[in-house]
Amino acid sequence: VLISLSSMQLLRTCADLFRLVPFLVFIIVPFMEFLLPVFLKLFPEMLPSTFETESKKEEKQKKKLNAKLELAKFLRETIAEMAKRNKADTG
């Protein structure tokens, strides 16, 4: 478990470093920082993970949970349909 947590943290850190690269443009080009809110509105995933608010983290978790629930519902319906077909074939 410890290895997977450290590897996940390393992966998140690397992703954050790659997300910081576009910010170099805002630093190098004069007056480009005024367009930063526009870019953040267009590309909300551009911010590193340390800049996420709790509400955004909760929203992401809710979306993941809803996706998992939809997948589970689909799989449950598929299995039920397959069971009906098997009963019809054998019965």
Burial class of residue 42, CB neighbours in 10 A (0-12, 13-18, 19+) = exposed
Chain centroid to CA 8: how far?
Answer: 14
The structure's pTM equals 0.46
Residues 6+ apart with CB under 8 A from 44: none
pLDDT in tens, the chain (91 residues): 556 778 888 888 888 888 888 778 878 888 888 888 888 888 877 777 667 778 888 888 999 999 999 999 999 999 999 999 999 888 6
**What whole-number distance in Å separates Cα of residue 9 and Cα of residue 50?**
12
Enumerate the domain spans of the chain: 1-48, 56-90
